Structure 1
Amino acid sequence: MSRTRIAATAIGLAGVLAASQAQAQSASSSEQEIALLKQQLKMLEQKLDKLQSQTAANTVATAKAKAEAKAEARSEAKAVVANANAAIPMKSPPPASGVVVTMPNNRPTICTADGANCVAITSRVHWDVGGYDYRPNTAGTVPQKLDSGENVRRARIGVVGKFLEDWNFALIYDFGGTADGFGGTVGSSTTPPTVGLLPGGGTSGIENAFVSYTGLKPFGGKMAIEAGVMDLAWTMDESTSSNDIAFMERASVGVVAQNIAAGDFRSAAGARWYNDVFYAGAYATGPTTGAIHSASSAVPAGTSEQYGATARVAGQVVSGNDYSVHLGADAQWLIQPPRNLVANTQTLTLSDRPELRIDPTTLISTGAIANVSGAQVYGVEAAGTYGPLWVQGEYYWFNIDRNANTAVVPIGTSSLKFQGGYAQAAYVLTGESRKYNPGNAAYGGVKPVHPFSLEGGGWGAWEVAGRVSQMDLNDQLATAAGIAGGRQTVYTLALNWYVNGNVRFMLDYLHGNISKQASPVSAADTGSRFDAVAMRTQFAF
Structure 2
Amino acid sequence: MFRASLLATSLLIAAPAAAQDADVATLTRLVREQAARIERLEARLAAVENAAAPAADPTPAQTAQTAQTGPTVRTPAPLGQSLPSDAHPPSLEARMARVERAQRENAHVDWSKGTPEFVSADGALSFRPRGRILIDMGTTTGSDVASRNVTATQARSLRLGIEGTFGKHLSYLLEGDFADNEVAIKSAYLAWTTGFLGQQAEFALGNRLNDRGLDGSSGTIAVPFLERNVVGAGIIPARGFFGLGAAARIYGKGWHVGVQVSGDDIANPGTAGDGLTIGARAHWNPVRTDDWLVHLGLWGFHGRLAEDVRRPTRSIAVGGFYNDNLRIAPGTFADPVSGDGYGVELGTFHHSLWAYAEAGSRRLENRAGDVTNQNAWAVQGGWFLTGETPPYLTRGGVWSRPKVLRPFTGGGSGAVELATRYEELDYSDNPTAGRGTALTFGINWYLNNFVRLQLNAIDWTLANPAAGGIVDDHGRSLIGRAQIAF
- Give the TM-score of the pair, scaled to structure 2: 0.76
* Corresponding position: 1:152 with 2:155: yes
What is the distance in 2 between the residues matched to 1:236 and 1:308? 19
- Give the TM-score of the pair, scaled to structure 1: 0.69
Q: Secondary structure at the match of 2:336?
A: coil
The one-letter amino acid of 1:497's match is W
Indicate conservation of the 8 Å contact 2:235/2:374, yes or no: no
Listed one character per residue, the Cα deviations across residues 237-292 of structure 1 (whole Å, up to 9, x for unaligned) are: 0223322211101112321223534514x313110011221110000122113332
Partner of 1:308: 277
Task: Pick from 331, 351, 355 the counterpart of residue 387 of structure 1.
Answer: 351
**Percentage of identical aligned residues:** 24
Aligned pairs, number: 396
Partner of 2:320: 356
What is the distance in 2 between the residues matched to 1:149 and 1:328? 37
RMSD: 2.6
Listed one character per residue, the Cα deviations across residues 70-115 of structure 1 (whole Å, up to 9, x for unaligned) are: xxxxxxxxxxxxxxxxxxxxxxxx9952311221232211110111
Indicate conservation of the 8 Å contact 1:469/1:491, yes or no: yes
Partner of 1:500: 448
* Corresponding position: 1:212 with 2:168: no
* Corresponding position: 1:370 with 2:306: no
What is the distance in 1 between the residues matched to 2:399 and 2:285? 10
Q: Secondary structure at the match of 2:412?
A: coil
Partner of 1:533: 478
Q: Secondary structure at the match of 1:158?
A: strand
Indicate conservation of the 8 Å contact 1:275/1:438, yes or no: no
Task: Pick from 461, 467, 476 the counterpart of residue 513 of structure 1.
Answer: 461
What is the distance in 1 between the residues matched to 2:343 and 2:215? 12
Indicate conservation of the 8 Å contact 1:231/1:263, yes or no: yes
Indicate conservation of the 8 Å contact 2:388/2:404, yes or no: yes
The one-letter amino acid of 1:436's match is Y
What is the distance in 2 between the residues matched to 1:503 and 1:160? 20
The one-letter amino acid of 2:328's match is I
Q: Select the structure of larger CA radius of gyration.
A: 1
* Residue 347 (structure 1) shift: 5.1
* Residue 153 (structure 1) shift: 0.4
The one-letter amino acid of 2:355's match is V
Where in structure 2 are the equivalents of 1:231-270 lying within 5 Å? 231-264=209-242, 266-270=243-247
Distance 1:12 1:114, change over 3 A: closer
What is the distance in 2 between the residues matched to 1:373 and 1:471? 23
* Corresponding position: 1:132 with 2:109: no
What is the distance in 2 between the residues matched to 1:275 and 1:447? 23
For structure 1, which runs of at least 5 residues remain unmatched after alignment? 1-6, 15-47, 49-93, 178-197, 295-302, 405-409, 476-481
Could you list the structure 1 runs, at least 4 aligned residues long, displaced by more than 6 angstroms after superposition: 7-10
Partner of 1:82: none
* Residue 471 (structure 1) shift: 0.4
Partner of 1:462: 416
Where in structure 2 are the equivalents of 1:78-117 lying within 5 Å? 97-117=105-125
What is the distance in 2 between the residues matched to 1:366 and 1:123? 31
Distance 1:262 1:219, change over 3 A: farther
What is the distance in 2 between the residues matched to 1:311 and 1:325? 21
The one-letter amino acid of 1:534's match is I
What is the distance in 1 between the residues matched to 2:221 and 2:175? 15
Q: Secondary structure at the match of 1:115?
A: coil
What is the distance in 2 between the residues matched to 1:414 and 1:533? 40
For structure 2, which runs of at least 5 residues remain unmatched after alignment? 13-100
What is the distance in 1 between the residues matched to 2:386 and 2:428? 42
Partner of 1:338: 306
What is the distance in 2 between the residues matched to 1:8 and 1:448? 94
Task: Pick from 416, 419, 424 the counterpart of residue 380 of structure 2.
Answer: 424
